[in-house]
Structure 1
Amino acid sequence: MGSLLSLLTAVLFYFGWASTDAETKALGLRDTVFHLSTSDYLLRSVSALYIPAWIAAAAALAALGLHRRLVREPSRTAAAVRVLRFAWTVPLVMVPLYPLSPWLFDLLLPLAMICGFVLNTYARTRGRRDVRLWALSLAVCVLALFWAVYAYAGIAGRGRAALTISTIDTGFPAVVVFSEKDLMIRGGGSCYRRVTDKGSRYSYQYAGLRLFHVSGDRLFLVPRGWTPEDGALYVLKEGDGQRIELLSGAGYRARECR
């Protein structure tokens, strides 16, 4: 049980890192910029793994049903068992098709390897114990699992990046920054003005910004018109001669730079 839990934790962390890596690369950044912790990677992996978890559960139930039928009707299922001995050849047949859609077969090939080797080993060890064959198959399956996780994480990460790009203006919190010094935040839909209010300790106000990420006492901001091809990421430290306000509502967004 402990080994299974360790493997699950490793898969979750690996998926969280791989999906974040793919996401930040698609955004023209790197995950190291945001100083993510182990818990951050684990939490980022949970939401994207619901569908794979349901599919894995359904496959396990189907495999259990197939096993029970083979046990109850060995004579009628003997032919099927003989066919399963060659299940390991399925991924080999798929290899020539890889150039047609690399991103798809990066996911399908390792999944086919897992299914093929498990079915092959099951068929060849019916009625006898062969620990070495099962150990070898499981080792191959673990390697294929991490390959599949990496491929699926890339798909999920790039999907999150596309969603970020399309919703950066309306889906992220609006930010107003007051600063004692000029932070040189310009362009991309952002705006600034000199603060002339009597008694104010701040000299500049910046608007048209969106809260991109928070890590500790650092806030990562982007202009509302930010794109990976043409945009700047601003990193501010809370309390460093600045006041940062988070605002919501379409009304404010409509007039923030007027």
Structure 2
Amino acid sequence: MSSSFLGRAREIAAVVAPTTVVTALLFYFGYVALRARFRYYGVDLDLVDLTLQETLLYGVEVLYPPVLVIALIGLAVTGLHAGVRWLLSAPERDVASGWVGVLLVLVGLLALVRGFVGFLVARVGAGEHFPVTPVALALGSAAVAYGGWMLHTVAARRRAWPAESNLRQTARRSVGWLALVGVASAFWATNEFAAAHGRGKAEEFAEGLPARPHVLLHSKEPLRGVPCGVEHRDGGAGAGEFRHRYKGLRLLVESGGRLFVVPAHWRDGRDGGTPSRTLVVPYGDDVRVELRPTPRLPSRPDC
């Protein structure tokens, strides 16, 4: 009974543990992407208060491209490794195998140097549009470890590397540190990709704002901080209780009884113009919300 219970417990742990890790990664990368996405609109993610399910769904969206890239890299590495195994299979090719190993180690060391420069020099890492620094660290550590393995294989076959030599023991320890650098750098690169993915989704969403449904606001009192490009019309006493009407808004997100609305034509300020702002409107008796489809695209305001 005891052994059966322990065996069943191990089976459950083997299933639950990977699922927990994947869920945690989805939540983390989804959070990073969402934070960058809403920061583009000047909104702190902590104010949005999304549910765990919504964050996980965004995490799945972020993981699709890197998983595809990792799969393609895995196929390429599998083919290259098969070629290297063939190269190492015959002693008469030891010279060529040794030179390939030396080349990999040198290229890996150069990549590690580039990665450490980007890590230590802030202006180098800050000017990267692609995560060159973490990718260089990850690929560099992998190249050094793989090239060292090739050299070890050739040296062991030629008995040029004693089993208990200090150099061999040092190499074993180095592989562990290189693996740690590679894993941390791969995580770093994926984190940078998640942030870039979030910013890209925000820009893509901004381009499609004019075609999204209208958000019309009717309020009793004038709203403060209305962004440029939003049309305000005061209907006067004859318009009834909700006399102030605001047109030209689109919904960014709804959360916690509040609407986060943005102008139909979002400006990020990179063209030198006045950057747009996000308007936060709480639900209440003072504001009435009206949604309408978009029959035609509105013209871009001159502001």
User: Which band: TM-score by shorter chain?
Assistant: 0.7 to 0.9
Alignment of 1:179-194 (within 5 A): 179=219, 181-184=220-223, 186=226, 188=228, 189-194=230-235
Alignment of 1:1-258 (within 5 A): 5-74=19-88, 75=90, 76=93, 78-79=97-98, 80-95=100-115, 102-104=126-128, 107-125=131-149, 135-168=176-209, 170-179=210-219, 181-184=220-223, 186=226, 188=228, 189-194=230-235, 202-228=242-268, 229-238=274-283, 240-251=285-296, 253=298
Cα shift at 1:210: 1.2
Task: Tell me the secondary structure at the aligned position of residue 128 of structure 2.
Answer: helix
Contact kept, 8 Å, 2:262 with 2:279, in 1: the verdict is: yes
The separation in 2 between residues aligned to 1:103 and 1:250, in whole angstroms, is 42
Q: Which letter maps to 2:203?
A: A
Cα shift at 1:58: 0.9
**Structure 1 pair 67–245 and aligned structure 2 pair: CA distance change class (3 A):** same
Q: Which letter maps to 2:195?
A: G
Superposition RMSD in Å: 3.7
Q: Which letter maps to 2:139?
A: C
Deviation track 1:128-147 (CA, whole Å, cap 9, x = no partner) reads 99985554333222321232
Structure (1 or 2) with the larger CA radius of gyration: 2
The separation in 1 between residues aligned to 2:283 and 2:260, in whole angstroms, is 11
Contact kept, 8 Å, 2:42 with 2:277, in 1: the verdict is: no
State the identity %: 25
Q: TM-score, normalised by structure 1?
A: 0.74
Deviation track 1:181-220 (CA, whole Å, cap 9, x = no partner) reads 225264622323438789x774544322211212243211
Q: TM-score, normalised by structure 2?
A: 0.65
Task: Tell me the secondary structure at the aligned position of residue 290 of structure 2.
Answer: strand
Q: How many residues align?
A: 251
Contact kept, 8 Å, 1:191 with 1:208, in 2: the verdict is: no
Contact kept, 8 Å, 1:175 with 1:247, in 2: the verdict is: yes
